[in-house]
Amino acid sequence: MGTVTSEPKTAASPPPGGGAPSPRRGGALSRLYGPLLAFLVTSGAFCAAWAARGSFPFGDTGRAINDQANQYVPFHRALWDLLHGQAAGDVLFSWRGGFGQQFLSDYYTYLGNPFSWLAVLVPRAHVDLAVFLITPVTMGAAAALMTVYLGKLQAGPWWQRGVLGACYGLCGWALSDASYIPMWLWGLVALPLLGIAVEWCLEGRRWPGAALLVALAWYGNFYTAMMATMAACVLLAVRMLTLDMTGAQRLRALWRAATAAATGILLTLPLLLPSFLSSGASQPTKAAAFDPVRIEVFLAGMLPATHLWGGRPRLYVASLGLILAGTFLLNSRIAARTRLVWAGAALLVLVSFQFPPTQYVWHGLAVPNGNPYRETFVFSGMVVVLAWLALANRPRPPHLALAAGLLVVATFVLRHTNDFGGWTWPAVLGGGALSLLALTLLALGEKRRVLIPVAALLMIGVVFAESTVAAANADARRSRERWAAPAPTSNRSITNHYEAVRQVDGWPAYRTDSGAPQTSYNDALALRSEGPQYYSSYLPEATYKALEPLGYGYKNDGRTFFGADNPVLDAIFSIGARVRPGTAPGTWTATRQAAPPLVTVRPAPYTSPNPAESVYARQENVLGATVYEVPAAARTGTEASQTYTAACTPGSEAYWYSPALYGTLRTGDRSLPLEDRMTGVLPLGPVPASGTVTATVETRTENATAGPHPIGCLNRTALDTRVRDLTTTGATDVRVGGHTIEATLPPAATGTAVFATTDIPGWQCSSPTTDFHGLLAIPLTPGTRHLSCTYTPKGLTPGLAAATLALLTLTSVTTASHLRRRRERL
């Protein structure tokens, strides 16, 4: 294929500030100047915003917002454990959290960003700091790569490309939506990566490199990489329409791009396919239908330094980028066809964000759970491209002034929009004025070269300052929202909690439960315990169906599970140690208790004599013995203040379960919070000598009660007897590997071997399995002494096969290309 060239420009002279760097004036090193500038401005501005807000590590204000505290920091601590040989599991499976769950999909989704590996380079106690630093590093890398991509679209001064690369790295989506979501930020990197791959395909070279760039984009995060890939399709179409190419050349470029994309995605299939299948097997959520925001709110998202509440689009880049992009259509130095195609593509992308069908396409035909405008970084990237093409072709000062004026007018018109940013006017007036001044000086620099360094410093400074303000404003406004209140991820209490768990660690002889969530929803990962605490988009429906009937609290439609301080559940799941808050704030106490092994034997099915609809009967069915009294509770009082009274044997232990109520539970001198389904089985304390158990619920839940059997009274002696029986008849030896479990049973064991883990898709055992209340179980045949089970994520084997085929293809093409070049040289 011949060389592909752009349409001829009307201007023949180089742009102000110099053209592309000459090899004789710096060579390969000079090509790093622009990306390095973009990286420093972007990461520096974001860190400056942290410092201005007094955020950790520059102050005491927390940085861990929402899922950053509950998911990302704990998962990065799990990665640290994995790489340092201290994980209970491996990359396929983790025994920490949810009583044992897949880990490969979690790794791909939450830890795929290559910069996540920064977490393994620091002491475990400082993993949270590494997680926070992933944000400015990833944003800086995205800005650097965008600088490279802009240079491939059109040559121009390195520092100008670097400044606009920083505009992209500091776009509103990055500052507001993704700043606390490390894996999403990889999409910001993926877009320019794929843009570079598109250019290689158009040039007819480096096909293996293009495929590897696609693989790198998808390796980091498939969700935002999918959006970036769709954007790359738009970029490819635009370039094929604006370049002087024959029909055959276009077909060849399209073929190279399609095959490179397919090969690159296939290389990630060992991660992608298991994650896709895990998502299909996960507990369903009630995602709402897409409801586009009003047009004035949508347009306000394009104004600098705005931060609209909730699921709103953040579309802006710094004023410099907006002003330059505003001159794109007016710049006659750019071919008319190029202007029309690029502007039309940007407009179509923008409009597609407002219509449900195209929104579903952007999100992979799924309804986004949360902010539906997660793909808006694509538009910001296109705005920066328009800005660069305009800047590289020397926009005229009158056009710049007109674009700046239109920005001011738009700001004035939208000033009353709901949640209009308080810093938007300073950004538009101050940042816009300084941007206009810098661009004017740059235009004058064609005749007065001394003005160019002044313009460069002013452009760099205004982008840095305006973006710092925008980032600080986004952080400040977000922190006012209840869900975004920053949570601590390292302090003395957390350290004490972690040390208390370590004091009683006995895995795999028994599990340790870290107690009710104190650090995060993934305390089991964060604190190295093995309890039920688990929060992931991949929590299997099978786990939900096994744990919910037993009285564990949950939220997020069942994708988040909490613990329950209940000795019957401890016996079922082999919990031999438990950590609870101490009497003094920030202190923790650890206790040991007898627990059966991880594998027990049940001679025959058991049916509780207690009311079948009660949680206590369901626990007994799994335990295999009657250990509760479950009396009918009499209810008195009003709907807002309900009093329940039940009669039990004095000295037994009373428990409460009411998943339909939200409010406060009062019994004796104790007050316990009730958060409906989030609250599992609660201990009420010993039954008094009178045998009467009384509990009052002050609830805000309308038309709901605790039901007829909220109270169960535990016979501790009966439970201890059952634990001894399960220990005596259970496995004599249990060996747990990364994703395997093996057990040796007593001689003449009969019935069903029950593993203290949920029967999630992926388990393969030495004998056929059976259902046992949602737990992994194997019916025993006479003489069976040894059992083993191995967990393999669904889709891993075909994914590896497809990746191997793609790798062979890539290797073959690379080798053939190398041999062809050698023959040509000879």
Q: What is the mean pLDDT of residues 270-289?
A: 92
Instruction: For 47-74, write each residue's pLDDT tens digit.
Output: 999 999 988 888 888 888 889 999 999 9
**Cα 663 to chain center, whole Å?**
31
pLDDT the model gives residue 28: 67
Quote the radius of gyration of the chain (alpha carbons, Å): 31
The helix or strand, by DSSP H or E, that contains position 694, with its residue range, turns out to be: strand 692-699
Pick from 621, 616, 617: nearest CA to 604: 621
pLDDT the model gives residue 711: 98
Quote the percentage of the chain above a pLDDT of 70: 96
CB neighbour class for 578 (10 Å; exposed up to 12, middle 13-18, buried from 19): buried
Mean pLDDT, rounded, of the chain: 92
Does pTM surpass 0.85? Answer: yes
DSSP sequence for 344-407:
HHHHHHHHHTTSHHHHHHHTTTS--SS-S-TTTHHHHHHHHHHHHHHHHT---HHHHHHHHHHH
pLDDT the model gives residue 636: 96
Pick from 629, 633, 657: nearest CA to 645: 633
Which letter does DSSP use for residue 426 in this model? I
Q: What is the mean pLDDT of residues 262-281?
A: 97
**Parallel, antiparallel, or unpaired: how do β-strands 575-581 and 511-513 relate?**
parallel
Q: What is the mean pLDDT of residues 667-694?
A: 95
Helix (H, G, I), strand (E, B) or coil at 425: helix
Q: What is the mean pLDDT of residues 113-140?
A: 96
pLDDT the model gives residue 27: 60
Residue 805 has pLDDT above 80, yes or no: yes
Task: Tell me if 209 sits within 8 A of 194, measured CB to CB.
Answer: no
DSSP sequence for 68-134:
IIIIIHHHHHHHHHHHTT--SB-SSEESSSTTSEE-HHHHHHHH-SGGGGGGGGS-GGGHHHHHHHH
Amino acid identity of 50? W
The number of residues making up the chain comes to: 826
Domains defined for the chain, CATH in brackets: 33-63+112-279+298-483 (no CATH), 505-598 (no CATH), 628-714 (2.60.40), 726-791 (no CATH)
Task: Tell me if 3 sits within 8 A of 128, measured CB to CB.
Answer: no
pLDDT the model gives residue 15: 42
Pick from 196, 183, 216, 173: nearest CA to 375: 173
How far is 275 from 109, CA to CA, in rounded Å? 8
Task: Tell me if 487 sits within 8 A of 520, measured CB to CB.
Answer: yes
Structure tokens that stand for 78 in this block: 């799990």
Q: What is the mean pLDDT of residues 768-796?
A: 96
Task: Tell me if 131 sits within 8 A of 122, measured CB to CB.
Answer: no
Which letter does DSSP use for residue 736 in this model? E
Say which range, 75-79, 545-549, 814-818, has the weakest mean pLDDT.
814-818
Residue 12 has pLDDT above 50, yes or no: no
How far is 575 from 571, CA to CA, in rounded Å? 6
Q: What is the mean pLDDT of residues 126-150?
A: 97
How far is 599 from 510, CA to CA, in rounded Å? 11
How far is 153 from 381, CA to CA, in rounded Å? 13
pLDDT the model gives residue 445: 87
Instruction: For 704-737, write each residue's pLDDT tens digit.
Output: 999 999 999 999 999 999 999 999 999 999 999 9
Residue 370 has pLDDT above 90, yes or no: no
Structure tokens that stand for 695 in this block: 């509990």
Q: What is the mean pLDDT of residues 197-224?
A: 95
Residue 25 has pLDDT above 50, yes or no: no
pLDDT the model gives residue 4: 39
pLDDT the model gives residue 477: 83
CA triplet 42, 45, 49: central angle to 5 degrees? Answer: 140
Residue 458 has pLDDT above 80, yes or no: yes
pLDDT the model gives residue 184: 94
Instruction: For 153-179, write each residue's pLDDT tens digit.
Output: 999 999 999 999 999 999 999 998 899
User: Could you tell me the pLDDT band of residue 287, with boundaries at 50, 70 and 90?
Assistant: confident
